[in-house]
């Protein structure tokens, strides 16, 4: 018996050493991959700013000329000022409207809340650039559908009625960006409201506080961390946005720093060092935003009371304000969902832009040609492949990193988790520039694989943050029981933890796929002729003035994202928006 007992322990120790060595190697390879994908491009961005320039790229000599020009010249500082003011304005409006809608849906007796909830978050699964195409069709001064309808009505009572809406203005830029960034504020705030303890609100109302006093003094302070997190996200997204300000602002001379970065990177003669230096400015701005957000939430978190049991208090009675509140949300839904969707479809069926919809302007030729063009077929294939691969990689890497950070905490696992979520505070445009310099002289440049690296870097934080929330919700005793029954750590992860996190992992997978489908900021800098994706193809048709064909491509892109949303809800019974809410909490 002793021999029988003595043999297995020696084999077990040998196996443990082997497993330890294998796990160490795999962990080291994972850490190296994350550093190469996330950290190295940022370092290359900073390094590229300190080179002299030629007309086609970077020189081999060092220079401070680009850095000094970007950081000290009135030209670039004014462009930075334009970008920050625009981002702050979009963020402020999004916070006011988004928080108001979250309070109405999450804390009042507003009717039709399940339906409204779906429509409010729907713009999350659409591309803001596609929304721009739709609002150009809706709000152009001479050819917009809305102005056409208004003129038709006012023409009955007055001669030559004026156009009442013009999207080709600064207000138009703010309007379109607000419509598609506001749902982030709504979702983060709503998630906080639904998970907090309502007893404090009940106590305030019992003490004689009015509805407004309760909201201002109790409800909103408890939601401040989520509100600040959503505000920071919207600010970063708005600060890096160059497509909407660039296309609309270009018509009246309005330029922001991201648009100049795009021009310096792509328009001959290129000014690549200037683009890199400008990217570092955006990086410092967003890092400053993260620092400010953390300082503010450090104070507000003292007053947060979240139980995870969900809202159980009495909903606030709106009384006569119920229908005005419903109309308020209805205007947003109409502007962000119904009108853009309708305009996008109608515009894709038109031969040319026209305010009057007559039989002569409609055609199916765009869709007839759409799937016969080789660049469209290539873009569709590349988009689908990148969406699947980026989703799988972000979920897999994110789960391993978050699991190690929670279950085996050390300074190394925490450091790797920090590096992995660093892209939350980095504009996609900056990562695009960094990846461009990192891999421009490698076989990856000009292929879809460099786009895959950009997508993984940009969306890995969702995999880490949401997976971390899922791991924290699973008691470690369940894994310990599996280990005591003979399972290895890897088996406990795959057979216990992952099945319990099924809904969370599916949500992250499909959410990253949707975000990949609509990604444009990094793609536009990294694509080649054979590596185009749908978002880049839409951009090129739009930039060349072919709005109708761009609308048709936008319809296909939007249909893909909506089908993924419906698929996850119907087949897997998973709400994709839960991935965003958990990632921001």
Q: What is the CA radius of gyration of the chain?
A: 26
- To the nearest whole number, what is the mean pLDDT of the chain? 83
Q: Report which of residues 374 and 409 the model is more confident about.
A: 374
Strand, helix or coil for residue 334: helix
What is the secondary structure of 246-310 as a DSSP string?
A: HHHHTTTT---HHHHHHHHHHSSSP-HHHHHHHHHHHHHHHHHHHHHHHHHHHHHGGG--B-SS-
Domain end point (choices 307, 323, 353): 353
Region for 545 from its dihedrals, namely left if φ exceeds 0, alpha if ψ lies in -120 to 50, beta otherwise? left
What's the rounded Cα separation, in Å, for the pair 585 and 583? 6
What's the rounded Cα separation, in Å, for the pair 457 and 36? 10
Cβ neighbours for 435, distance < 8 A, ≥ 6 positions apart: 41, 450, 453, 454, 457, 522, 526
Residues spanned by the domain of 95: 63-353
**What is the model's pLDDT at position 153?**
81
Position 10 pLDDT exceeds 50 = no
Mean pLDDT across 345-354: 86
The answer to whether 144 and 230 are in contact (CB under 8 A) is no
What's the rounded Cα separation, in Å, for the pair 366 and 165? 28
Domain assignment of residue 522, yes or no: yes
Say what percent of the chain tops pLDDT 70.
85
Report residue 312's pLDDT band, with 50, 70 and 90 as the boundaries.
low
Helices (H), 408-531: 411-421, 428-439, 448-472, 476-484, 489-492, 498-500, 502-518, 523-526
**What is the model's pLDDT at position 583?**
55
CA–CA–CA angle 128, 251, 68 (5° rounding) = 85
Is the same domain home to 442 and 334?
Answer: no
The answer to whether 509 and 391 are in contact (CB under 8 A) is yes
Domain assignment of residue 289, yes or no: yes
Say what percent of the chain tops pLDDT 90.
30
Residue written as token pair 């020009």 = 69
Q: Which of 93-97, 198-202, 364-368, 371-375 has the lowest mean pLDDT?
A: 198-202
CA distances from 352 to 360, 371, 484, 549 (A): 10, 20, 70, 10
**What is the model's pLDDT at position 197?**
61
**What is the model's pLDDT at position 308?**
45
Is the same domain home to 42 and 89?
Answer: no
What's the rounded Cα separation, in Å, for the pair 459 and 428? 10
Report residue 456's pLDDT band, with 50, 70 and 90 as the boundaries.
very high
Is the same domain home to 347 and 380?
Answer: no
**What is the model's pLDDT at position 173?**
96
Is the same domain home to 327 and 466?
Answer: no
Half-sphere exposure (Cβ direction) of 458: Cα atoms closer than 13 Å: 34
Domain end point (choices 313, 334, 353): 353
Is the same domain home to 569 and 433?
Answer: yes
Domain assignment of residue 584, yes or no: yes
Is the same domain home to 165 and 297?
Answer: yes
Residue written as token pair 């199916």 = 364
Half-sphere exposure (Cβ direction) of 102: Cα atoms closer than 13 Å: 30
Strand, helix or coil for residue 340: helix
Report residue 198's pLDDT band, with 50, 70 and 90 as the boundaries.
low
How many separate domains does the chain show?
A: 2
Domain end point (choices 330, 353, 376): 353
Q: Which of 145-159, 160-174, 476-490, 511-525 has the lowest mean pLDDT?
A: 476-490
The pTM of the whole model exceeds 0.85: no
Is the same domain home to 477 and 535?
Answer: yes
Mean pLDDT across 357-369: 84
Mean pLDDT across 331-346: 93
Q: Which of 128-137, 294-303, 520-529, 549-558 has the lowest mean pLDDT?
A: 294-303
**What is the model's pLDDT at position 16?**
42
Report residue 70's pLDDT band, with 50, 70 and 90 as the boundaries.
very high
Biggest distance spanned by C-alpha atoms of the chain: 107
Is the same domain home to 341 and 373?
Answer: no
Domain assignment of residue 58, yes or no: no
**What is the model's pLDDT at position 413?**
83
Is the same domain home to 482 and 423?
Answer: yes
Domain assignment of residue 556, yes or no: yes
Mean pLDDT across 10-15: 42
pLDDT per residue as tens digits for the range 199-214: 666 676 666 666 677 7
What's the rounded Cα separation, in Å, for the pair 552 and 347? 8
Is the same domain home to 278 and 420?
Answer: no
Is the same domain home to 342 and 368?
Answer: no
Domain assignment of residue 442, yes or no: yes
Position 87 pLDDT exceeds 60 = yes
pLDDT per residue as tens digits for the range 402-426: 888 888 888 888 888 888 888 876 7
Question: For position 580, which CATH number holds?
Answer: 1.10.3720.10
CA distances from 264 to 56, 64, 275, 520 (A): 11, 17, 6, 17
Domain assignment of residue 359, yes or no: no
Is the same domain home to 461 and 546?
Answer: yes
Q: Which of 300-314, 341-355, 446-460, 539-553 has the lowest mean pLDDT?
A: 300-314
Peptide bond into 269 cis (omega under 30): yes
pLDDT per residue as tens digits for the range 225-250: 778 888 888 998 898 898 899 999 98
pLDDT per residue as tens digits for the range 421-453: 888 767 778 888 888 888 878 888 889 999 999
Position 67 pLDDT exceeds 60 = yes
Domain assignment of residue 459, yes or no: yes
Element (H, E) at 62: strand 58-62
Report residue 495's pLDDT band, with 50, 70 and 90 as the boundaries.
confident
């Amino acid at each position: 018996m002793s021999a029988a007992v003595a043999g297995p322990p020696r084999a077990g120790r040998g196996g443990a050493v082997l497993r330890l060595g294998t796990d160490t190697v795999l962990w080291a390879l994972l850490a190296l991959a994350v550093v190469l994908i996330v950290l190295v491009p940022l370092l290359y961005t900073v390094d590229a700013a300190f080179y002299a320039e030629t007309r086609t790229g970077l020189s081999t000599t060092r220079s401070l000329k680009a850095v000094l020009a970007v950081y000290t010249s009135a030209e670039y500082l004014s462009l930075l000022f334009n970008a920050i003011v625009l981002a702050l304005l979009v963020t402020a409006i999004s916070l006011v409207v988004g928080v108001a809608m979250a309070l109405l849906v999450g804390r009042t007796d507003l009717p039709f809340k399940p339906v409204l909830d779906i429509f409010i978050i729907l713009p999350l699964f659409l591309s803001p650039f596609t929304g721009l195409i739709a609002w150009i069709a809706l709000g152009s001064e001479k050819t917009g559908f809305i102005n056409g309808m208004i003129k038709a009505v006012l023409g009955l009572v007055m001669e030559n009625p004026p156009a009442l809406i013009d999207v080709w203005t600064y207000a138009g830029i703010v309007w379109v960006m607000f419509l598609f960034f506001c749902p982030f504020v709504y979702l983060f705030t709503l998630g906080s409201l639904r998970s907090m303890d309502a007893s404090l609100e009940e106590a305030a109302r019992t003490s004689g506080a009015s509805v407004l006093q309760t909201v201002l003094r109790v409800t909103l302070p408890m939601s401040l961390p989520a509100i600040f997190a959503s505000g920071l996200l919207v600010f970063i997204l708005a600060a890096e946005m160059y497509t909407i300000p660039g296309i609309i602002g270009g018509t009246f001379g309005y330029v922001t720093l991201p648009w100049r970065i795009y021009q310096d990177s792509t328009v001959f003669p290129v000014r690549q060092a200037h683009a890199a230096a400008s990217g570092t400015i955006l990086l410092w701005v967003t890092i400053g935003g993260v620092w400010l957000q953390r300082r503010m939430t450090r104070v507000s978190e003292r007053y947060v009371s979240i139980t995870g049991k969900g809202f159980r208090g009495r909903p606030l009675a709106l009384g006569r304000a119920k229908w005005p509140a419903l109309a308020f949300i209805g205007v947003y839904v109409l502007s962000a969902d119904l009108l853009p969707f309708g305009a996008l479809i109608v515009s894709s069926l038109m031969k040319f832009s026209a305010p009057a919809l007559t039989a002569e302007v409609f055609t199916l030729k765009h869709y007839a040609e759409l799937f016969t063009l080789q660049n469209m077929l290539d873009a569709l294939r590349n988009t689908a492949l990148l969406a699947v691969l980026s989703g799988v990689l972000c979920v897999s890497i994110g789960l391993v990193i978050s699991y190690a950070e929670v279950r085996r905490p050390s300074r190394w696992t925490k450091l790797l988790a920090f590096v992995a979520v660093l892209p939350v505070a980095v504009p996609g445009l900056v990562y695009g520039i960094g990846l461009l310099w990192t891999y421009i002289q490698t076989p990856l440049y000009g292929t879809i694989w460099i786009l895959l690296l950009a997508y993984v870097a940009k969306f890995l934080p969702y995999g880490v943050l949401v997976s971390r929330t899922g791991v924290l919700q699973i008691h470690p005793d369940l894994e310990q029981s599996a280990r005591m029954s003979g399972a290895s750590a890897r088996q406990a992860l795959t057979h216990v933890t992952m099945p319990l996190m099924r809904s969370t992992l599916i949500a992250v997978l499909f959410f990253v796929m949707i975000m990949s489908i609509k990604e444009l900021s990094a793609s536009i800098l990294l694509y080649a002729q054979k590596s185009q994706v749908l978002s880049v193809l839409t951009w090129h048709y739009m930039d060349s003035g072919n709005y109708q064909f761009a609308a048709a491509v936008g319809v296909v892109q939007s249909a893909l994202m909506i089908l993924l949303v419906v698929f996850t809800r119907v087949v897997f019974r998973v709400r994709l928006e839960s991935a965003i809410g958990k990632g921001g909490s």
